[in-house]
Structure 1
C-alpha cells in the first residue's frame, strides 16, 4: 500500500507535484489543517488559495448534511448558518454527503457546484470537509450509488474551490495540525451501501482493492492519531431512527447486500469503540442518539436536514433508539465546540420561510 505523503499548500503551488505522487495519497497542510488519505482519483494540487480554519485550542464546527438541493430550503439553512457565523465564527464545516442532488456532478466544471454549494454558502469562508453520499454517485436512478467513479468529480473539484475540501474520497482532518484537539476521519462507504451493488467492477467490491485499502488506512490512521477527540464522518449511519433505518436493515429490506449489511460490518470492525462520535447524514433528520452496548461507547449523531426533511416519510418500526434529541420534520444544522477537555453540541432548527434559527438542544457530550 502506498505511503501517504504530507505536502504543504505552498509546496503544491511551487513544486510541480506530478499526478503519480498525488494518486499515491496526497496530503495538504494549510495553516493548522491536515488532509490525508488514499484514493483512486485524488485532486491535483489546488489552483486556487484554500480557506484555512480559524482555530487554536478551541474549534467550532458547523455540521450539515444532505444540503445540495439548490432550493430555497438549502438557502434558508445557509442564511441561518451565516447569521450564526456572524455571532460566533466557525473554524470549519463538515458536509455529510449528498452534496449535489439528485445524481451528482457530470464533471469538475459542472455548474451545479456553483448553484448547490458555492452560491448558497457565500460568506461561509472556511474549509468544508465534504463526504461522498449515494446521490453524489448515482448511475441509473437518483441515489442508487451505482456509478461510484462519479464521486471522483467531487475530488477533482477540490482543486477549484477555496471552500470545498475533498482531496481524496477518504481522508482525515486534524485541527490544529500540531497537538490536535480533534481529528475528523472522512470515509466513503458507498461501495458497501449502494442500491446497485458494484458487481461488474471488482475494484469496488466489498473486499476489493478500494475498500481493503480504505480499511487498512483507517485502522492505521486511528491507531496513530494523537488527537484528544477522534470523530468519524460518513454519509450512511450505523444507527438511525429515521426512514432509512440502521445499517444491516436499511429501508427495512431483508435482502443482502441492499440492506447495508456490509456497512454494518465495517462499522463494527473498524469504527465502533475506536472513536468518540460517528457523524452521518442520509436520513433528513436531526438526531443525537445515546451510545449503546452495540456501539461500544461511540455516539451516533445524524445531521441530514440542511436541504430537506423526512417529514411525511414512513419510519421503520425497528428504530426506536434512545435519543437525547431528535426531530424528523424540521430543517436545521448542528454546532460542535471542541476543546481539549470537552465536546459541546448544539442543534438549531430553521424556519424555511424566514431563515431564522432556533436553538433547540445544547449539551456537553464529553
Structure 2
C-alpha cells in the first residue's frame, strides 16, 4: 500500500470503518490506537490525512473516544467523525455513519454497542438523511462519492444491506452520485447494475479476508470484479476521468475500471 501510495502520489487515505478490532477503542488512552494505526501505516506516502468512518465493530467500543479531537494530537493524520463532508475540489466525498441504519444491531444480545449520541435512533437517522440530502443537492462537485461502512450491494458474506437500499439508495440515485464505497465484507469487489450508473465498490480486505464467501445471486454482468483475498483500492480523478484500481496485498493490479464523465460512459 505504501509503495502504491508513493507511485500515485496520493492526496489522502480513506478508511471504510471497523478501524479497531474486535471491539473498538476502550477510551482515549487505549494503546490499540497507536498499535493498530500509527505503528502500522509508517510508509512515507501514507503520512497524509486519513478520513475514517465508524464500523459496527467500532460501535462495540467507546465511540466518543474514537471521534474525539484528542486523538489527532496523538497522530495528526487521524480524522474520524460520524458523518461529514470532504470537498476535494473536483470531487465531493460524503461520509455516512451507516451502523445505526442496521436494525439487527439494536436487538443483538451477544454484543454491547455504544449508542450514545445515536438514540433516539429515528431522530438521528432523520437528521443524518436530511443533512446528506442538503449537502448532495447543494454540491457542485464534478464527482460525488459516498463512503459508508456497510454495503448497499455486495456479493460477499454480509451481502446487501436492506436498510440502506430502502433509505439511502434512492437519495444517491436522485442526486447523481457516481460511486458508493464501503467496507464490512472482507473482500474486494466492484458491482455495476444496469438500473443505475452508480458504481458499488467494496474495499474491506485491508486486514483480513474471508475465502470462498461469494454470494452467487449476483449476475455476472453486474458483478464486475470479486476477490476474496487481502488488498486495497485507489481512486484517481480528473475533471472528466475516473480510474478505479484494485490491488492485492503485494500491490499487484487485480482489476481496473475507467469512466469518462463528459461522455457519461464507462469501459
Shared fold, TM over 0.5: yes
Check whether the contact 1:134–1:194 (CA below 8 A) recurs between aligned residues: no
Assess if the C-alpha contact under 8 Å between 1:246 and 1:319 holds in 2: no
From 148, 166, 180, the equivalent of 1:265 is 166
Superposed displacement of residue 92, structure 1: 0.5
Match for 1:204 among 107, 110, 119? 119
Between structures 1 and 2, the one with greater strand share: 2
1:127–1:198 Cα change, 3 Å: farther
Q: Match of 2:26, SS?
A: coil
TM-score (norm 1): 0.63
Query: How big is the alpha-carbon RMSD for the aligned residues of Structure 1 and Structure 2?
Result: 2.2
- Conserved 8 A contact 2:225-2:255: yes
Aligned to 2:258: 364
Does residue 246 in structure 1 map to residue 166 in structure 2? Answer: no
Q: Tell me, what secondary structure is at the counterpart of 1:271?
A: helix
Deviation at 1:198, TM superposition (A): 7.0
Task: State the match for 2:50 in structure 1.
Answer: 128
Q: Distance in 2 between matches of 1:189 and 1:158?
A: 23
1:109 is matched with 29
Q: Measure, in 1, the Cα distance between the counterparts of 2:103 and 2:63.
A: 13
1:301 corresponds in structure 2 to 201
- Large movers: runs of 4+ above 2 Å: 85-88, 157-161, 198-206, 268-274, 315-321
The Cα of 1:212 is off from its aligned counterpart by 1.6
Q: CA deviation at 1:312?
A: 4.3
Separation of aligned partners in 2, 1:309 and 1:188: 23
Which structure 2 residue ranges, 5 or more long, are not aligned? 109-114, 261-267
Q: Pick from 79, 85, 90: which aligns with 1:165?
A: 79
Change (3 A) 1:316 1:88: closer
Q: Match of 2:122, SS? A: coil
Residue number in structure 1 paired with 2:111: none
2:17 to 97, 103, 114: 97
Superposed CA deviations along residues 101-160 of structure 1, whole A, max 9, x for unmatched, are 001001122111111111111131111110100110116xxxxxxxxxx32221113454
The Cα offsets for residues 331-351 of structure 1, whole Å up to 9 and x where unpaired, read as 11111110111111111112x
Asked if residue 237 in structure 1 is aligned to residue 151 in structure 2, the reply is yes
Q: In 2, are the aligned partners of 1:188 and 1:234 still within 8 Å (CA)? A: yes
Superposition TM-score, scaled by structure 2 size: 0.85
Is contact 2:100–2:118 with CA below 8 Å preserved after alignment?
no
* 2:223 alignment counterpart: 323
1:228 to partner: Cα distance: 0.6
Residue 97 to residue 202, structure 1, CA distance change in 2 (3 Å): closer
Q: Computing the radius of gyration over CA atoms, which structure comes out larger, 1 or 2?
A: 1
Residue number in structure 2 paired with 1:278: 180
Match of residue 134 from structure 2: 220
SS at match of 1:134: coil
Question: What corresponds to 2:263 in structure 1?
Answer: none
